[in-house]
Structure 1
C-alpha cells in the first residue's frame, strides 16, 4: 500500500504530460498539415504574381520613358539610364517570385508526369532572370534619350552575359511550357495541354523572330515572354485553387 501510494503521484503526472502535449491545439505536430498547406498556397501565389509584376512594371516604363520604342527596343534595355534600377529591381523581384513559385509547384506536382522537370525548369528561369538583372544591356539605338541611333559599335561583357542569361531563362520557360503540356495531356486535360504548348510556342517564335533581326522583333519577343509567363501563372493559380478544395 505504501509503495502504491508513493508510485501513483510520481508517475501519473509524467505520463499525462506527453499525452496533453500531443493533443494540445496549436502545437507543431497538430498544426503541421495546415502550415504546410498554407506555405504551399503562399508559394503558388508568388508564381501567380510573376506576370502581373513583371508585365506592369515593364510596360509602364515602356510607354512612359522618353525615347523608348517597343518596336525597336527590347524590355531589357529599360535597365539602362538613370531609371535603369527600376527594371533591374523588376528582374530581381520577378526572379524571387519565380523561384518561390517553382518550389510551390514542386510540392503540388510531386509524383505526377512532369512534376519533376516543370518546377526545375522554372527554377532555371528564375536564376536566368536574376542574372539578367545583375548584367545589364548596353544603351543603343536612341535609348536612353540622347543615345545615338543605330546599334552600338560593340557589345560590352555585361551585355553579352545579359544575352546569355536571357537565352537560358527563355529556353527554360519554353521547355517548362511543353513539359506542362505533357503533364496536362497525361491528366486528360486536353485544353490545358494545348494552352501550355501554345504558350511555349509563342515564346519560341517570338524570340526566334527577334534573334533573326525580324521587323518589330522586340515586340514579338515581349508578347512571347508575357504569354508564356502568363500561362505559368495560370497553372499556378489552378493548382492553388485545387489545393484549397482538398
Structure 2
C-alpha cells in the first residue's frame, strides 16, 4: 500500500512473539464476524438487518455472543501489544496501539455487561427505553465508547504516523476508514434511536460499520509488518 519510500531504516522482521501477537489481529475480526453471522441467522425472532449485534447477548443463547465479545476483545488487546512491539523500533506511535487496546477492552466490557433491549428484541420488549433498566446496561454503553469512538481516533492517529513515514496509501486508507466508521456509527445510533427511515436497517448499518473497522485492523495486522517499504 506504499506510494513512496520511508524516511528511516526499518527492522527486517518482527520477533516471533510479536508476529504471534499480530496474528491475533488477523483472527479477531473474521472470527467475530463469523460468530454473529451464524448467531443472527439461527436466532428466532432476531433480524440482523434491524437489530444490533449486542442484542445477541440477550436471551437463552446469549452466552454465545458474550463469549464472542470476550474472545474478540482478548485477541484485539493481544494484537495491540504486538502492534506496539512491532512499531516501537520504527519510532511508531504509542497512542495508536493504546487506542486499539482500549477497543479490545471495550469489546470485553460489552460482553460482560449486557445491553438493554432495543428495536423490539427480544420479543415483547419496547422499541426504545427512555432510561437504563440496570447498571450493567449503562456499563455496556460506556464500554462501547472506546469501540465506536476509540477506533476511528486510532485511524486518525495512524494517519499522522503514516504521513511521517511517507506511506501515503496507508494514510489515505486510514483516514477514509476513520471517516466512514464515524458516519456509520452515527447513522446506526440514529437508527437504534428509532429515527424513521433508518430504524429498519439499523443492524445492517452497524454491521457494515463494524466490518469497515475490522477490515482496517486485519490489514494492519497482515500487511503493515510485511510492507517492503517499511523494511528497506
For the aligned pair, the TM-score class normalised by the smaller chain equals 0.7 to 0.9
Q: TM-score, normalising length from structure 2?
A: 0.82
Q: Output the aligned Cα RMSD.
A: 2.1
Does residue 151 in structure 1 map to residue 128 in structure 2? yes
Aligned CA distance change for structure 1 residues 87 and 222 (closer, same or farther; 3 Å): same
**Residue 242 of structure 1, CA deviation:** 4.8
Q: Tell me by how many angstroms 1:239 deviates.
A: 3.2
Partner of 1:125: 103
1:202 aligns with 2:187: no
Partner of 2:158: 180
Q: Does 1:232 align with 2:232?
A: no
When Rg is computed on C-alpha atoms for both structures, the one with the higher figure is 1
- Greater RCO, 1 or 2 (C-alpha within 8 Å, sep 6+): 2
In structure 1, C-alpha distance between the alignment counterparts of 2:119 and 2:165, rounded to whole Å: 48
Which of 35, 51, 73 is the equivalent residue of 2:29? 51
Whether 1:220 and 2:205 are equivalent positions in the alignment is yes
Q: Map 1:31-50 to 2 at 5 A.
A: 37-50=15-28
Q: Which whole-Å CA distance do the structure 2 matches of 1:227 and 1:189 have between them?
A: 20
Verify the 8 A CA contact 1:77 1:139 in the aligned structure 2.
Answer: yes
Which aligned pairs between 1:51-130 and structure 2 lie closer than 5 A? 51-110=29-88, 112=90, 114-130=92-108
Deviation at 1:176, TM superposition (A): 0.9
Provide closer, same or farther for how the CA distance between residues 218 and 114 of structure 1 changes in structure 2, counting only shifts above 3 A. Answer: farther
Matched-pair contact (CA < 8 Å) for 1:99–1:122:
yes
CA distance in 2: counterparts of 1:94 and 1:167, whole angstroms: 16
1:166 to 144, 148, 153: 144
Number of positions where the alignment pairs a residue of Structure 1 with one of Structure 2:
209
The answer as to whether partners of 1:125 and 1:169 remain within 8 angstroms in 2 is yes
Rounded to whole Å, the distance in 1 between the matches of 2:182 and 2:91 is: 23
Structure with greater proportional helix content: 1
Of stretches 215-224 and 84-93 in structure 1, the one that deviates more from structure 2 is 215-224
* Greater Cα shift, 43-52 or 171-180: 171-180
Q: Choose which of 159, 163, 167 in structure 2 pairs with 1:189.
A: 167
Aligned to 1:7: none
The gaps in structure 1 that reach 5 residues or longer are 1-35
* Structure 2: segments with no counterpart, 5+ residues: 1-13
Relative distance call for 1:139 and 1:211 in structure 2 (3 A) is: closer
CA deviation vs aligned residue, 1:62-101 (integer Å, no higher than 9, x gap): 2221111123211000000111001000000001100100
